[in-house]
A and B are shown apart, each in its own frame.
Chain A
């Protein structure tokens, strides 16, 4: 056991890899939240009147909403007046091409392993890089444009494609959907926008990379993906933040709108700064992600690997409105030290023959709390709906907690809903078996955990799967004891 403690000591003191800050000049709003601040943001972004009105409406609704208290998480009250709601890396003018981008910025992303210089990229992933609140670069835009695919920052979409933004923004996650979604609608500063035209299969992975850099800044980005009939897109999202002693708020909204026979695959590797080993600092991650399978035969699939954040509050969901539509949710959520995660999914079956599948793998270590919360709702008119949910929890050590809160609500008798749940511990037997074959303890844990999470990791695109495996191992290093 003493050896375990030593390993534990060594590794929990290992620093968060992305914890550095960049020396970027920023342009910020004063602290606090008010209608004036919202006007400030809207003016900064040169927005049309309708969008300002939309924001103000959201702000007024938010003011009437209460912060939810039902999640199984606890944190000191957030002072929303003590945050900065707009921070942008200063750029002389809107960069026309990559040469115009501040070299510090390019360096920032290169440090993260993301090259914004297209010719350097071998993997063929188009990236929209968002730093603090603003999208700084989108790669491969021209290649995509030839196919009619629109992939750009949200701000740009507001300017260039206002009709699309106006039509779909808020159609999946209404402004007053919940406290954090309303806050986002009021103050969101940027994000990514994507439109795939009818019948087009997007030839490369589209990816947004989020980074919070500035201090005391909330990050509120919005992503909107519209997949027209028969189209297909695979979308990736990654994120990191510097190590800071104070907590930082991240409240994002992702909306996916899938028309007839469209397929959208959305993958996230969430690696926000989780706080230190004593629970100091870290990102508060309150995110609303929802997909609407509007058309018949459409399909939306969420895959998430959650390793970061001090607090995670997130339930990527699918509304299965079209007949024969399908929703999937694959999740690995790892918590260590004092991290808290309350995450899961909602599958709302409205159309006939709708299918959903939830595979959730929680891993808790240290003093962390890890909750799965999921809802499966079969509406009255949904004939022959099917759901399968598998919720597994893996415990490492005896100081952590794993919880499962499944809500099943079936209003149509033809539905078939299956729910399976297991809780297990990493066995000393398993570790010893590995040790006996010459595998050290760290690698043994990584092997066992990756095996446990395999069904989810298999859903990720190759490049991401490798990163995710490493992250899992890194997050859990030294947590066996």
Chain B
């Protein structure tokens, strides 16, 4: 589904991604871990099409298309979803209105009819249940004054609404209390199918108890320096990153 080859990206003069290789197949869950500042969010942003980052080299293929050639909104319409590490506030625009605009624009781009209010509301109610989010939150201005946990839950609600092919969750677990973590993980698991894939960026193996990954990768200085299974996450939890840094230094 997603094939990243030697991806290098910079912002200004600073090179942040130094040749990333990653293959994600439909139905898989990949976890990306790594120390602060190693480039996890940058990778997510580059995949989503943020213009601040310049791709210097490499290729990204998504469902047979050259992802890097696509405008950010077209990537989203093709099924790439990013749950932001820091969701943005949009005053005066409710989540409901925001999602309605998004859903209908996506439908339109596929040559489909927009949803009428009734059908939209019906779908919305279902998805609200899935992530256990209150409608009063969705009526408020998007992310404005939301608690950290509410913002994250709202991201997952949006993901549920948009039913992406590839979801990239950037530290969606940070700021969540244990109950919320379970609910969010449960929501993600419910949305998992054979035909979609998830990349979870996280610092904590705790999340991976609930969303069980097929692969775990360690990103360090803009490169994937180690890949393994869920056990790798446990090892990192126990030992930290120093041993990996040492390995990299030796190599």
Contact = CB atoms under 8 A, between A and B. Distances in A.
Contacts of B81: 436
B146 to A, nearest CB: 14
A448 B93 contact: yes
A438 B162 CA distance: 9
A3 B89 CA distance: 24
A3 B51 CA distance: 10
A432 B41 CA distance: 14
A441 B93 CA distance: 16
B92 A435 contact: no
Interface in A428-448: 428-430, 432-441, 443, 447-448
Interface string A444-481: 00011011111100000000000000000000000000
B90 A433 contact: yes
A448 B105 contact: no
Interface string A401-444: 00000000000000000000000000111101111111111010
B90 A451 contact: yes
Interface string B86-120: 01111111000111011001100100000000000
A390 B137 CA distance: 25
Nearest to A454: B92
B88 A452 contact: no
A438 B106 contact: yes
A1 interface: yes
Say what secondary structure dominates the interface of chain A: helix
**Among B82, B91, B106, residue most surrounded by chain A Cβ atoms (within 10 Å):** B91
B84 interface: yes
Given A437-B162, A438-B77, A452 B72 contact: no
Contacts, number: 77
A435 B84 CA distance: 13
Contact of A450 (B51, B72, B87, B92): B92
B88 A433 contact: yes
A452 B92 contact: yes
A435 B49 contact: yes
A443 B87 CA distance: 19
Which of under 10, 10 to 19, 20 to 34, or 35 or more describes the interface residues of A?
20 to 34
A437 B92 contact: no
Contacts of B93: 447-448, 450-451, 454
B73 interface: yes
A3 B109 CA distance: 19
A438 B50 contact: no
Nearest to B103: A438
**Among B48, B82, B105, residue most surrounded by chain A Cβ atoms (within 10 Å):** B105
Contacts of A434: 90, 98, 102
Interface residues of B, number: 32
Contacts of B106: 438
B88 A429 contact: yes
Nearest to B158: A437
Nearest to B141: A451
A430 B90 contact: yes
Interface string B106-136: 1001000000000000000000000000000
Contacts of B158: 437
A441 B52 CA distance: 16
B141 A435 contact: no
Contacts of B248: none
Given A436-B48, A443-B101, A448-B93, 18 more contacts: A432-B48, A432-B88, A433-B90, A436-B73, A436-B81, A436-B84, A437-B102, A437-B162, A438-B73, A438-B77, A438-B162, A439-B105, A447-B90, A447-B93, A451-B90, A451-B92, A452-B91, A454-B92
A438 B90 contact: no
Given A436-B48, A436-B82, A438-B162, A447 B101 contact: yes
Contacts of B31: none
7 contacts: A3-B71, A432-B72, A435-B71, A435-B76, A436-B73, A438-B102, A447-B98
B45 to A, nearest CB: 9
Contacts of A3: 71
Given A437-B102, A437-B158, A451 B91 contact: yes
Nearest to A392: B91
Interface in B43-95: 48-52, 71-73, 75-77, 81-82, 84, 87-93
Given A1-B51, A443-B105, A447-B101, A436 B90 contact: no
